[in-house]
């Protein structure tokens, strides 16, 4: 598919059931990272007063929404899912234009957001609590759930539809009103979720959407006294600072942050299969997944043969504008991320790692209009190097040799992160050992480190995550409070 001409549209905030300009009237542009001539839209540069209006609306809507039956709340999610499905091709194209991922990846992500709305719509009828026998006669003991009140949802640019969806849907079904602040680099995909809920006639004030920089909108939102809970996904540095700032208020906080995810390849593996898994995990979506594989830990006997296969396959990857048919890898999301990728490539070389392929910014023809970079593979990496310890968030794979399974486990666990991890092997005993001992919240076997499903809990361990899990039925736990009832039914 070739690029089309697009006219620039201005998108508002969504406050108290209306699409409105920011009070200052200032806006910012959302620019396609694969084609600088393509302005995807303009969005509101909001400030504290816009956050104030959103929080006021959310507080006013709390009581009625919390007292709406959960199955009725679910109907708004079902309806919004239907409306989004009707626009799937358009929404996929918009996501590719604002984030850069390929069109099939974008369509897959919007489909996932739709499924998340459907899944949590159904959770309206399944918000389980429990009753247990009492020690006392004629006494009932049981629990009920109550929503937190108003929650702040702060999301990153790399899954601009799925992440807002997997925060919005459980927050709403549990009876909370919300204020969503999307990433400034990709606000359109979540705007479309909000628009669908508006068209589904969700009551005014239940969802509010405010765009603007993290330093102004994000900061004002997380400081606002009306906020009873914060769900944040983004970088470890912003998540850490946010937690430090709100911890005195004892707010319920959920932080999903960075990763340094390993794939262990054992010597019994089918090498062709293993190479495909590594390439998928490390390079698809330009390595810009929190669950992307950035460390391949390979047993020595297969190391050389696997590296040859990896190089061959990586050199054949098609890099370009994600709207074009056959493209497998799009651009970095912006100049800052591209510079971070290139900087880590310089650091890795300086520290003694050997660049086997890629690592350059691409130029010429369509590449001059975007932030395109060749996927990079480094050998001779050891656990002390920054490339083995720090999240790059780009298409950069570090290869590390393991002498045996024990050594592979040691290397895999030698980082402060613990989001996802995978192993490629047919040896069931080793696979089970890996599952027991790997320090990661998401564990995959003979699959890439990335590629999760919405009906299961999502989250990491160590410094990757803090607080309760997202997605799956457990997501409701974060957005609701358990209250315990003791009732004597006779006097
Ligand atoms: P980021 O820079 O931390 O931003 C995340 C969100 O926080 C954005 O909406 C940002 O707004 C906002 N923000 C920035 N400063 C803030 C502040 N002082 N107070 C409140 N909010 C603030 O992260 P990103 O670059 O968008 O995303 C990439 C990172 O997300 C990577 O580290 C990746 O690993 C992580 N991630 C983790 C998961 C997971 O589930 N573990 C999933 C996806 C991504 P602006 O956009 O306006 O700056």
Distance from C-alpha of 159 to C-alpha of 155, rounded to nearest angstrom: 9
- Residue 215 CB–ligand 1 contact under 6 Å: yes
When pLDDT is averaged across residues 326-340 and rounded to a whole number, the result is: 98
- What mean pLDDT is predicted for residues 235-261? 96
Atom of ligand 1 nearest to the CA of 213: 47
> Shortest CA distance to 169 belongs to which of 151, 187, 184?
151
6 pLDDT above the threshold of 60: no
Strand partners, 229: 151, 252
Which protein residue has the closest C-alpha to ligand 1 atom 32?
235
Query: To 10 degrees, the CA torsion angle through 429, 430, 432, 435?
Result: 180
From the list 105, 109, 195, 290, the catalytic residue is: 290
Query: Rounded to the nearest whole angstrom, what is the distance from the C-alpha of residue 449 to the centroid of ligand 1?
Result: 20
Confidence of residue 8 (pLDDT cuts 50, 70, 90): confident
Told to judge if 391 belongs to the known catalytic residues of this protein, a careful annotator would answer no
Cβ of 233 below 6 Å from ligand 1: yes
What backbone torsions phi and psi does residue 290 show, to the nearest 5 degrees?
A: -60, -25
pLDDT confidence bin for 163, thresholds 50/70/90? very high
Ligand 1 proximity of 218 Cβ (cutoff 6 Å): yes
**CB of 124 sitting under 6 A from ligand 1:** no
* Cβ of 156 less than 6 Å from ligand 1: yes
pLDDT number for residue 65: 98
Segment 223-234, tens digit of pLDDT: 999 999 999 999
The model's pTM: 0.97
352 dihedral zone (left: phi>0; alpha: psi -120 to 50; beta): left
Indicate which residue of 93, 123, 256, 463 is catalytic: 256
How high is the pLDDT of residue 279? Answer: 98
Q: Determine the average pLDDT of the residues in 483-491.
A: 96
Query: What's the token pair of residue 375?
Result: 């996927």
The predicted pLDDT at position 171 comes to 98
- Whether 98 shows a pLDDT value over 50: the answer reads yes
The b/e string for 273-310 (b: 16+ C-beta within 10 A; e otherwise) is ebbbbbbbbbbbbbbbbbbbbbbbbbbeebbeebbebb
Give residue 5's pLDDT: 46
d(C-alpha 278, C-alpha 255), whole Å: 27
E strand or H helix at 39: strand 39-44
Annotated active-site residue 290? The verdict is yes
CB of 334 within 6 A of ligand 1: the answer is no
Q: What is the average pLDDT across 189-194?
A: 98
| Mean pLDDT along residues 404-413 | 98
Query: Over the stretch 374-389, which tens digit does the pLDDT of each residue have?
Result: 999 999 999 999 999 9
pLDDT cut 70: percent of the chain above it: 99
β-strand partners of 39: 31
Q: How far apart are CA 441 and CA 450, in angstroms?
A: 12
pLDDT tens for 420-471 read 999 999 999 999 999 999 999 999 999 999 999 999 999 999 999 999 999 9
Q: Which pair of tokens denotes residue 178?
A: 């919300």
Q: From the CB of 158, is ligand 1 less than 6 Å away?
A: yes
Report which protein residue has its CA nearest ligand 1's atom 48: 214
pLDDT score of 3: 39
User: What is the number of H-type helices and E-type strands within the chain?
Assistant: 15, 22
Structure tokens at 179: 């204020």
Mean pLDDT computed over every residue of the chain: 97
Does pLDDT of 327 surpass 50? Answer: yes
φ and ψ at residue 320, rounded to 5 degrees? 175, -165
User: Ligand 1: which of 213, 235, 392, 459 to mutate, judged by most atoms within 8 Å of the beta carbon?
Assistant: 235
Q: How many CA atoms lie less than 13 Å away from 191 in the CB half-sphere?
A: 28
Q: Which of 129, 98, 115, 210 is nearest to 471 (CA)?
A: 115
């Amino acid at each position: 598919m070739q690029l089309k001409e697009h006219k620039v549209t201005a998108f508002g905030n969504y406050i108290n059931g209306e699409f409105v300009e920011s009070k200052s009237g200032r806006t910012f542009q959302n620019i396609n990272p694969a084609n600088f001539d393509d302005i995807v839209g303009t969005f509101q540069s909001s400030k504290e007063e816009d956050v104030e209006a959103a929080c006021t609306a959310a507080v006013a809507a709390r009581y009625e929404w919390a007292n709406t039956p959960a199955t009725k709340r679910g109907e708004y999610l079902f309806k919004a899912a239907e409306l989004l499905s009707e626009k799937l091709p358009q929404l996929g194209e918009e996501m590719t234009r604002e984030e850069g991922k390929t069109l099939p990846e974008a369509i897959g992500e919007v489909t996932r957001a739709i499924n998340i709305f459907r899944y949590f719509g159904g959770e309206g009828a399944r918000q389980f609590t429990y009753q247990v026998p009492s020690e006392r006669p004629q006494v009932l003991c049981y629990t009920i759930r109550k929503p937190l009140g108003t929650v702040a949802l702060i999301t990153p640019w790399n899954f601009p539809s799925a992440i807002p969806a997997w925060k919005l849907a459980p927050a709403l079904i549990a009876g909370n009103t919300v204020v969503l602040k999307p990433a400034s680099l990709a606000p359109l995909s979540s705007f479309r979720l909000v628009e669908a809920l508006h068209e589904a006639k969700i009551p005014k004030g239940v969802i509010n959407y405010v765009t603007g920089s993290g330093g102004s909108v994000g900061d004002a939102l997380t400081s606002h006294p009306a906020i009873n809970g914060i769900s944040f996904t983004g970088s470890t540095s912003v998540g850490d600072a946010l937690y430090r700032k709100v911890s005195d208020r004892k707010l319920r906080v959920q932080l999903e942050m960075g990763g340094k995810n390993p794939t262990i390849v054992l010597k019994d593996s089918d090498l062709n299969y293993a190479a495909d898994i590594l390439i998928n995990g490390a390079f698809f979506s330009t390595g810009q997944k929190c669950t992307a594989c950035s460390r391949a830990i390979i047993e020595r006997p297969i190391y050389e043969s696997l590296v040859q296969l990896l190089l061959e396959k990586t050199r054949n990857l098609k890099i370009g504008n994600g709207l074009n048919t056959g493209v497998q890898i799009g651009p970095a999301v912006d100049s800052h991320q591209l510079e971070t990728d290139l900087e880590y490539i310089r650091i890795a070389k300086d520290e003694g790692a050997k660049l086997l392929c890629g690592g350059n910014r691409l130029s010429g023809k369509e590449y001059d209009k975007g932030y395109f970079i060749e996927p990079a593979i480094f050998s001779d990496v050891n656990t002390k190097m920054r490339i083995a310890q720090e999240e790059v968030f780009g298409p950069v794979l570090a290869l590390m040799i393991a002498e045996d399974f024990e050594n592979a486990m040691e290397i895999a666990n030698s980082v402060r992160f613990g989001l996802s991890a995978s192993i490629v092997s047919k040896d069931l005993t080793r696979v089970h050992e890996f599952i027991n001992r790997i320090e990661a919240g998401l564990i995959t076997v003979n699959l890439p480190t990335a590629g999760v499903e919405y009906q299961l809990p999502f989250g990491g361990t160590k410094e990757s995550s803090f607080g309760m899990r997202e997605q799956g039925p457990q997501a409701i736990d974060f957005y609701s409070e358990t209250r315990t009832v003791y009732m004597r039914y006779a006097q």
